[in-house]
Amino acid sequence: MGDRKKSVTKTIGILTSGGDCPGLNAAIRGVCRAAYDRYNMSIIGIANGYRGLIDGDARLLKPEDFSGILTRGGTILGTSREKPFKSRNGEYDADVGKDKVEIIKENYKKLNLDCLVVLGGNGTNTTGYLLSQEGLNVIGLPKTIDNDIVGTDMTFGFHSAVSIATEAIDRLHSTAHSHNRVMVIELMGHKAGWLALYAGVAGGGDIILIPEIPYDIDAIGRHLLKRARDGKSFSIVVVAEGAQSVEEAKMDKKERKKYREKTAKPSIGYRVAREIEAETGMETRVTVLGYLQRGGIPSAWDRVLATTFGTAAAELLARGDYGKMVSLKGNEVGSVDLSEPAGRVKTVPSDHYMLDTARSVGTCLGDE
């Protein structure tokens, strides 16, 4: 084990919140192994995200708890989508009739925590920031398959999801070719199109539709018909779940929601398929990859990134450098203030090199 180093932080709580993704257990292991082996910290595992902190569902983790979990999918701690600050709008915990944030603050003290380590996406780190404003010490780790967290170039979970989605696209190529069809594959990405863009390029998608670039069905139709004239008997269309038409982009949020409820049933992939058939007369089929994108073992890259983020978090803990989120900038692992990702979404910028890469190989992005 080696000589243990001094640490400002003695006891930490750790939780995972929001949607699960590959790499969570690798990150938990990275935090816990470094915190325990190097700095002799006590580690309290909190079950089911912020819900567990409200319920007081927590226990002392032993080394065997975070051993052998590097390659496991999911999270050993469980997760939930609990958003405690909604209680500030009058939503109280039904069991105790208290403000959820106040309950969290009380349980933080009862557990004698010096810092709370939160592993999650935008909502999780936003809640972490708000808790830090309430006086709690918090450190965040960025996880999401969407790669849409401001302050870091890459989140763990993204690489694994791209690999899963790319494999699905690869498999659709053979059936699309055999049946001379247009195959639409819908991927996750409600507000940001990173996953659809990267998987679409990796899988050789002929059309990629992302939320950042409103699509014109006329442009899509022209592209597909040209492919047919050029002797290409099939096409692959990769659609992010948040993709929107040029008409939708002009609507306000309320109008757009109503429009989607009326037209995008059961989901956006099916609407795009119907539009393609109406525009071109081509036989079209839909695959919605859904939760398969979040399941399974993490890729080698995500194991490395999650482990590195975990050990970097332990370093922050040892120094008492709270109120930060671990981040990757270029090839450097560092940290940013939790205020940076709070309440924000990292979307694909219009000048991102991957957009130019896609266009350079003849991929249509729905706008031309």
What CATH number is attached to the domain comprising 242?
3.40.50.460
Q: Which domain holds residue 231?
A: 160-294+350-360
Asked whether residue 2 is domain-assigned, the answer is no
Asked whether residue 266 is domain-assigned, the answer is yes
pLDDT tens-digit readout, 59-72: 999 999 999 999 99
Asked whether residue 82 is domain-assigned, the answer is yes
Q: How many helices (H) and strands (E) does the chain have?
A: 12, 11
Task: Please identify every residue annotated as catalytic.
Answer: 146
Same domain as 119, residue 51: yes
DSSP category for residue 44: E
Same domain as 355, residue 215: yes
- pLDDT of 89 above 70: no
What's the domain count of the chain?
A: 2
Phi, psi dihedrals of residue 284, rounded to the nearest 5°: -130, 140
Same domain as 245, residue 178: yes
Token pair in block for residue 299: 């890729």
pTM of the model: 0.93
CA 118 to chain centre: 14
pLDDT tens-digit readout, 236-286: 999 999 999 999 999 999 999 999 999 988 999 999 999 999 999 999 999
Residue 98 has a pLDDT of 79
Pairing mode, if any, of strands 138-142 and 182-187?
unpaired
Phi, psi dihedrals of residue 330, rounded to the nearest 5°: 65, -125
**32-60 as b/e: b if 16+ CB within 10 A:** bbbbbebbebbbbbbbbbbbbbbbebbee
pLDDT tens-digit readout, 166-193: 999 999 998 888 888 999 999 999 999 9
Asked whether residue 94 is domain-assigned, the answer is yes
Asked whether residue 4 is domain-assigned, the answer is no
DSSP category for residue 294: G
Mean pLDDT of 75-100: 79
Q: CA-CA distance, 32 to 39, in Å (whole number)? A: 10
Return the closest-CA partner of residue 50 out of 127, 153, 133.
127
Asked whether residue 344 is domain-assigned, the answer is no
For 47, the 3-state DSSP assignment is coil
Enumerate the H helices of the chain as residue ranges: 24-33, 49-55, 100-110, 122-133, 158-179, 194-202, 217-229, 246-249, 253-263, 268-280, 300-319, 353-360
Same domain as 221, residue 179: yes
Asked whether residue 1 is domain-assigned, the answer is no
- pLDDT of 90 above 70: no
Mean pLDDT of 344-361: 97
Same domain as 230, residue 136: no
φ/ψ region of 157 (left if φ > 0, alpha if ψ in -120 to 50, else beta) reads: left
pLDDT tens-digit readout, 208-243: 999 999 999 999 999 999 999 999 989 999 999 999
Q: CA-CA distance, 159 to 11, in Å (whole number)? A: 32
Asked whether residue 366 is domain-assigned, the answer is no
Same domain as 326, residue 243: no
Q: CA-CA distance, 28 to 73, in Å (whole number)? A: 12
CATH of the domain at 119: 3.40.50.450
Token pair in block for residue 276: 């393609």
Confidence band for 324, pLDDT divided at 50, 70 and 90: very high
